[in-house]
Structure 1
Amino acid sequence: MVHQLTTVPPIFSPFPPAIHPCHEVIDRRTAEWAAMFGIGSAELRSQLVTHNIGTFAARILPGGREEVVGILADFVLWLFGVDDGWCEEGELGRRPGELLGVLSRLLRVAQNPEVPMLLEDSLALGLRDLRRRISEFGTVGQVARWVDALREYFLSVVWEAEHRARGTLPDLNDYTLMRIYDGATSVVPPLLEMGHGYELQPHERDQTPVRAAAEMAYFVICWDNDLFSYHKESRTGRYFLNVIRVLENSLGITPEQALSMAIAQRDRVLCLFVRLCDSLRTHGSPQLRQYLDSLETFIRGAQDWGISSLRYTTPDDPADLPAAFRATPTDDSQEPLGIPAISWWWDLLPKEDGTRPTREPEHRSALYALPDAAALRSA
């Protein structure tokens, strides 16, 4: 069944675009790296090298060290080798138990690249090279956080594989929780720090509001990716997970209605992200301010790449994606979304007297209802 969706309208983006001046060189080097390590099948690799992944990394780290931008580009291509080659298009994507075993072995290589395992596996060889280069530019703590985030990503794709094997769709709350991790967005922040030559200290990085700001960025990036990738995914004839499809299934609404709701959700979270970052900058260290700036650049870089990469524009079957962004949100409400896994984000902004807002239990329970579901079904 082909799910019909006509046009993705311009979406709200309050951040300016930027790109590293060496983006063309980085893009070429990433294609060479993929060929050197044989990432994915020859067919998959030939597709990936046309997707301007080096340019994507150059947009995420426009002012970063060129070497680290190159690491990020190679790593993103490697992730697509796993996600496209094994999970979405390969047989492993429908065998969660077997996939877990394979990914656990890869994780061991990331933790301890000297282990005598997977010595002839191309993805393991590429991962060893990435780990070596990350260790060169990152601290012990940054390398450890990168490995931990890779574990989160692996766990989430196994969860997705279980749904793929059963042909089921999660509800919106479970999808949101999974999507924060299975987009591999949480694996990027250690590289953002490395790219700018600093390490955000635990007393700031592990504060609940700072962690929430990062999760909000992941949410926006992944919701945007779902908007841009829906056309491509819905025409493969294979199982796919996407917020538009989840909303369709959960609420019994059309793809167009689901698209409007997804845009409103990401707009509301993005407005909250901007307000929270402004609050955190007031008393944050220079390192924290740089970290928050990098999260903003990550969001905008993903947006610019998403509307321009052949990965999503699919010229053989053109997707009707926006050519620009809008300056205002469709939804700037300060009320939480009806998604329990993330509703606590709205509790983190201080009130005018400097205290954190509190909500009565009966108010919070009302947040669990999906917004405007009845109205959408009758529309």
Structure 2
Amino acid sequence: MAKTMAVPPTYAPIPSAIHPHHAAVNAGTAVWAEKFGIGSTELRSRLVRQDIGTFAARILPEGQDEVVSLLADFVLWLFGVDDGYCEESELGHRPGELAGVLQRLVRVAQNPEVTFLLDDPLANGLRDLRLRVSRYGTVGQTARWVDALREYYLSVAWEAEFRRTKTVPDLNDYTLMRLYDGATTVVFPLLEMGHEYELQSHERDQEAVRAAGEMASLIITWDNDIFSHHKESRGSGYYLNVIRVLTHEYGLSQRQALTRAIAQRDRVMVLFLRLREALLEQASPQLRQYLHSLGTFVRGSQDWGISSLRYTTPEDPASLPSTFRETPTDASDEPLDIPAISWWWNLLPPGTAPQGHQAPRQAEPVPA
């Protein structure tokens, strides 16, 4: 068996937090998964041991209880799709057929009253999720959730083509795909619902605000790739993550690729903090809360990633860190050489000072 590659502590400037009812959320998600029969018995048993409710409780540490539970159930459902359809079945090697299956699920999300897939556990779980999204969100938030789900589906069908051909995309294409196939954007509307506000379009659609969300997505998915590499590389099937892509792109060893991936996520983290600080200067209370929630999403993913059985894999232990570092390995203000995202570095106002490892500004309460 290949030697285990130790992952060093990663840069974590955002404070850790967790919802006080995290244990109840975690237990409730296990009940929900059994009620709808998400995935096979083996997959469902595995998912309910991965503390997915705790993950949701870290993403929304001060969120409305019902939305934290909704988020937890939704994340478990997403893993049911990702593991059950994409990673561990033949369907994940047939992009055209997979796209058709996922498009039918999009229709269920758009119109849960449709009279097909009535015996499909994932479709029925999605019907329940969609009705709850409508209950706690506005019409606009529900529409954006469905649109983000479609983006996620498109990207995983794209990924399936690489799985079919057993090829590795270049770094630019992988980065673009990863902004969506990690399903981070499908969580963004729930960040608003969890605090009972709706971010208005004149703020949400600003290029800099969209970029802040994309930066959070990259940090979260790079961290996921770093923490999951041990599990994925030990499996018998095809796997794709940033370490493999960097190894292929630059002819690096796995250790060198890990070091570069950490440097990339650190450089984006530094930029995220600087851009967020600049946006806060003239932000509404709603935008301040949204930017704060992007931060708790990033930190919650880090905390969960190094502690969940999904990645620690005790049957073949991964060498993951138990702590984080206070300074970045790369604090350069030069853009990464990735065309899909290099424009992010043009968004900082002139004279914006580097954040270093200062604690981020806290959000103000959102008016009821």
d(CA) in 1 for partners of 2:4, 2:336: 24
Tell whether the 8 Å contact from 2:215 to 2:268 is kept in structure 1 after alignment. yes
Residues 268-292 of structure 1 deviation map (CA, whole Å, 9 limit, x = unaligned): 0000000000000000101000000
d(CA) in 2 for partners of 1:214, 1:352: 22
Q: Tell me the amino acid that sits aligned with residue 344 of structure 1.
A: W
d(CA) in 1 for partners of 2:168, 2:179: 16
d(CA) in 2 for partners of 1:348, 1:117: 46
Equivalent in the alignment of 2:274: 275
Partner-residue secondary structure (3-state), 2:99: helix
RMSD (Å), alpha carbons:
0.9
Shift of 1:352: 3.2
Q: Tell me the amino acid that sits aligned with residue 102 of structure 2.
A: L
Shift of 1:6: 1.5
Q: Tell me the amino acid that sits aligned with residue 183 of structure 2.
A: A
Q: Does 1:94 align with 2:93?
A: yes
d(CA) in 2 for partners of 1:126, 1:283: 40
Q: Tell me the amino acid that sits aligned with residue 266 of structure 1.
A: R
d(CA) in 1 for partners of 2:324, 2:72: 24
Shift of 1:21: 0.6
Tell whether the 8 Å contact from 1:5 to 1:256 is kept in structure 2 after alignment. no
Q: Tell me the amino acid that sits aligned with residue 147 of structure 2.
A: D
Runs of 4+ aligned structure 1 residues displaced above 4 Å come to 2-5
TM-score by length of 2: 0.95
Equivalent in the alignment of 1:175: 174
Q: Tell me the amino acid that sits aligned with residue 320 of structure 2.
A: L
Tell whether the 8 Å contact from 2:4 to 2:319 is kept in structure 1 after alignment. no
In the TM superposition, what are the counterparts of 1:1-379 in structure 2 within 5 Å?
5-352=4-351
d(CA) in 2 for partners of 1:192, 1:288: 11
Partner-residue secondary structure (3-state), 1:196: coil
Residues 199-245 of structure 1 deviation map (CA, whole Å, 9 limit, x = unaligned): 00000000000000000000000000000000000001210010000
Partner-residue secondary structure (3-state), 2:281: helix
Partner-residue secondary structure (3-state), 1:312: helix
Partner-residue secondary structure (3-state), 2:194: helix
Equivalent in the alignment of 2:365: none
Tell whether the 8 Å contact from 1:3 to 1:234 is kept in structure 2 after alignment. no
Tell whether the 8 Å contact from 2:58 to 2:296 is kept in structure 1 after alignment. yes
Tell whether the 8 Å contact from 2:216 to 2:298 is kept in structure 1 after alignment. yes
d(CA) in 1 for partners of 2:181, 2:66: 26
Tell whether the 8 Å contact from 1:51 to 1:310 is kept in structure 2 after alignment. yes
Tell whether the 8 Å contact from 2:38 to 2:44 is kept in structure 1 after alignment. yes
Equivalent in the alignment of 2:355: none
Tell whether the 8 Å contact from 1:5 to 1:255 is kept in structure 2 after alignment. no
Equivalent in the alignment of 2:366: none
Tell whether the 8 Å contact from 2:22 to 2:54 is kept in structure 1 after alignment. yes
Quick one: structure 1 residues 131 and 42, their matched pair in 2 at CA, closer, same or farther if it must change by over 3 Å?
A: same
d(CA) in 1 for partners of 2:3, 2:269: 27
Shift of 1:117: 1.2
d(CA) in 1 for partners of 2:206, 2:104: 32
Identity of aligned residues (%): 69
d(CA) in 2 for partners of 1:6, 1:92: 31
d(CA) in 1 for partners of 2:98, 2:351: 50
Shift of 1:193: 0.2
Q: Tell me the amino acid that sits aligned with residue 192 of structure 2.
A: E
Instruction: In structure 2, list runs of 5 or more residues that go unmatched.
Output: 353-368
Instruction: In structure 1, list runs of 5 or more residues that go unmatched.
Output: 354-379
Shift of 1:4: 5.1
d(CA) in 1 for partners of 2:4, 2:255: 6
Residues 65-93 of structure 1 deviation map (CA, whole Å, 9 limit, x = unaligned): 00000000000000000000010001110
d(CA) in 2 for partners of 1:335, 1:104: 39
d(CA) in 1 for partners of 2:5, 2:245: 18
Residues 170-198 of structure 1 deviation map (CA, whole Å, 9 limit, x = unaligned): 00000000001000000011001000000
d(CA) in 2 for partners of 1:104, 1:243: 27
Partner-residue secondary structure (3-state), 2:340: coil
Tell whether the 8 Å contact from 2:4 to 2:318 is kept in structure 1 after alignment. no
Equivalent in the alignment of 1:371: none
d(CA) in 1 for partners of 2:351, 2:70: 43
d(CA) in 2 for partners of 1:127, 1:194: 18
Shift of 1:38: 0.2
d(CA) in 2 for partners of 1:288, 1:24: 29
Shift of 1:3: 6.5
Partner-residue secondary structure (3-state), 1:247: helix
d(CA) in 2 for partners of 1:213, 1:5: 34
